[in-house]
Every structure is written in C-alpha cells, then in structure tokens.
C-alpha cells in the first residue's frame, strides 16, 4: 500500500514541497523493507516525520550541543577517529549516527557511507537508510503490536519528542484509515 503525496502532506503538513520529493523514495524504501501495512506505515511516517522535522532535515543540525559533543570518541558508535562525532552526525530520515552505523548501513545499501557520509542526505538514500534501520531493529513487529513507545526508544534511545511523535502517529493512522 503506497502512500500518496496528499496523505503525506496531511500527516506532515510542514513538509511542503519535500513531500513530493520524498513520496517515491519512501514508497520504494517501505516496499523493500516490508513497511506495507497501515499500522507499519503510520508508525514509520510518524517516526521519520519527527526525526526529520517533517522531512525538512536530513542532516542533524550541529551546534555542537553538549549531547552532540558527546558523540566524539564514543566506541559504541564506532567513533574512534578524532572528528568522527561531527563527520558521522545524524543523517537520513531516521538520523543514522556514528561511524559503525554508517558502515553497517552502507554495507546493506551498497553505498560507501564511511567515505561519503553526505550520500544519506539524498532523498532516496535518506528514505532507504530509515527503512533499513527500521527493519534491522525489528520495528515492523512492534508496529504490528501497536508498541509505539518501544519503537521510539529503539530509534531515539529514550523518549525525546514523544508527544510530537504520538500526535503524528494519531494523524497518520486517521489519514491511512
């Protein structure tokens, strides 16, 4: 069940022209990774909508904030070379973060993201990386079970932006009903 530009704009009204840019990329990515039921699509669109500021940001806005500065030297993210924190900042519609995640995502998508991290800023790769992340974290199963808070924790590591995510999820479920 592909999503239409109109449905995407009803769910993410601030996306504006980006909705038309992302519809084919999102439909391709969702199809490839089995995000094909109303429940899965609604949860996925709500989460990528929040993570990307309604499709307006495919690269993490960099301060660096204290949290972002903390990416530097984080072995769990594979950030072992000075400068990795900034170089492998969140990119894509679900904000892939860290050298290790860029390497794993790049391997899955057939892209050299370690040497060309900005590829995740292109709509097709931004959408495909989000669907890859979703799939590798078992989020289709959680979406089928309506476990939206658990999905948020797996994406975010916490519950940042939960209220916005829940509002987008509510809208998406109504739009896709």
Residues taking part in catalysis: 51
CA–CA dist 94, 90 (Å, integer): 8
- Look at residue 59 and give its three-state secondary structure: strand
Half-sphere exposure of 153 (CA within 13 A, CB side): 5
Question: What is the DSSP-derived secondary structure letter of residue 37?
Answer: S
Phi/psi at 59 (nearest 5 deg)?
-135, 130
């Amino acid at each position: 069940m592909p999503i239409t530009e109109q449905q995407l704009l009803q769910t993410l009204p601030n996306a504006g022209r980006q909705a038309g840019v992302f519809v084919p990329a999102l439909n391709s990515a969702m199809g490839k990774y089995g995000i094909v039921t109303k429940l899965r699509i609604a949860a996925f669109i709500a989460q990528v909508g929040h993570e990307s500021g309604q499709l307006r940001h495919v690269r993490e806005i960099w301060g660096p904030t204290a949290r972002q500065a903390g990416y530097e030297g984080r072995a769990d993210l594979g950030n072992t070379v000075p400068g990795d924190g900034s170089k492998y900042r969140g990119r894509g519609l679900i904000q892939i973060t860290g050298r290790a995640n860029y390497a794993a995502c790049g391997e899955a998508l057939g892209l050299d993201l370690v040497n060309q991290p900005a590829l995740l800023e292109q709509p097709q790769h931004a959408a495909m990386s989000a669907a890859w992340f979703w799939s590798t974290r078992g989020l289709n199963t959680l979406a089928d079970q309506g476990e939206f808070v658990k999905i948020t924790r797996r994406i975010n590591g916490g519950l940042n932006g939960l209220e916005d995510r829940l509002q987008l999820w509510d809208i998406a479920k109504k739009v896709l009903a």
